[in-house]
Amino acid sequence: MKVTVVGAGNVGATCADVLAYREIANEVVLVDIKEGFAEGKALDIWQKSPINLYDTRTVGVTNDYTRTANSDVVVITSGLPRKPGMTRDDLISTNAGIVRSVTENVIKHSPEAIIIVVSNPLDVMTYAAHITSKLPRTKVIGMAGILDTARYRAFLAEELNVSPKDIQAVLMGGHGDTMVPLPRYTTVGGIPVTELIDPAKLDAIVDRTKNGGGELVKLMGTSAWYAPGSAAAQMVEAIVRDQKRVFPVCIKLEGEYGITGTYLGVPVVLGKNGVERVIELQLNEDEMALLKASEKAVREVMDVLDNMPANA
């Protein structure tokens, strides 16, 4: 199996490192536009293979997509990271152009690849990659829900003083402030989280999760990378190993939850064909209202992309 990661920055390099360390693919190709950058990162990852005992071959190239030919999965992390005071939506114009160009090159050399988008604003960049690739919606998906649920679960584990391994959760909607955490579907070792935590504390954790990315930007001056890179690698693993994992991912909805044409995070079964099926939860009235509000926010940014000169 061959996996390409486009963008050798912090997120892309972390993703490639996890893929190599866990031996998820035979070969991982890192691509970047900065001369020597991907080559250096890939070489560094390869040189620790005797230390950490793995044999996945990592290769780096500068803007040479011929080396990515016949990739089974391609992860797109390219684009500008957020800076303090910058919203994800501020990135749309520049990053949409980057994602379109990358997608065209990817499809040219790996027409059967499954594409995972990590670039921000996530939901709209998934849209840009999907319409550019002309692939089925099940093969162009966005990584957001795994990262968001990881943050949510980590905060809960800290508050409850339990292992994060025992916490399961579902989040839906857009990646960002309008995401929809679902405490009703959150469990700790099978126990509903609502039985273990004060409602006010749970609400505070939900709010912290919604602003999880922004919290890290304020602390570090740039976007996170360890958790996002690892989350993307987990999606790759589910596909490459046909694990049929149930994850929240961003996908174009076609009638599910009464929504058509908007790219939102929803729970799916992830396997060798990409999204094997979309899971429709029985949301209550309040949950559905939050999802519709998230849809509206994402749709507004999709409209911005649609109305940009390049799309006129």
Better-scored residue on pLDDT, 88 or 288 = 288
Query: One fold for both 2-142 and 145-306?
Result: no
Question: Looking at 72-76, 262-266, 267-271, 302-306, which range is the least confident one?
Answer: 302-306
Beta bridge partners, 188, equal 167, 191
Averaged confidence pLDDT in the chain: 94
What pLDDT, on the 0 to 100 scale, is given for residue 312?
A: 40
pTM of the model: 0.95
Q: List, as residue ranges, the binding site for substrate.
A: 82, 88, 120, 151
Q: List, as residue ranges, the binding site for NAD(+).
A: 7-12, 32, 95, 118-120
Give residue for tokens 């509206």. Answer: 296
Query: What is the architecture of the domain spanning 2-142?
Result: 3-Layer(aba) Sandwich (3.40)
Interval 160-199: pLDDT, tens: 999 999 999 999 999 888 999 899 999 999 999 999 999 9
Percentage, residues of the chain above pLDDT 70: 96
Residues in the chain: 312
Give residue for tokens 């963008």. Answer: 7
Distance of CA 27 to the CA centre of its chain: 21
If you average pLDDT over residues 291-309, what whole number do you get?
91
**The residue type at 246:** V
**Would you call 175 a catalytic residue per the annotation?**
yes
Distance of CA 29 to the CA centre of its chain: 19
Coil, helix or strand at residue 181: strand
SS3 content of the chain, % helix, strand, coil (to 5): 50, 20, 30
The structure tokens listed for 100 are 């379109």
Q: Which of 100, 175, 210, 252 is catalytic?
A: 175
Write the burial class of residue 122 (CB in 10 Å: 0-12 exposed, 13-18 middle, 19+ buried).
Answer: buried
3.90.110.10, 3.90.1300.10, 2.60.40.10, 3.40.50.10880: which CATH number matches 145-306?
3.90.110.10
- Domain assignments of the chain as residue spans, ordered by start: 2-142, 145-306
Contact 12, 226 (CB under 8 A): no
Interval 229-279: pLDDT, tens: 999 999 999 999 999 999 999 999 999 999 999 999 999 999 999 999 999
The structure tokens listed for 278 are 């979309």
Q: List, as residue ranges, the binding site.
A: 7-12, 32, 82, 88, 95, 118-120, 151
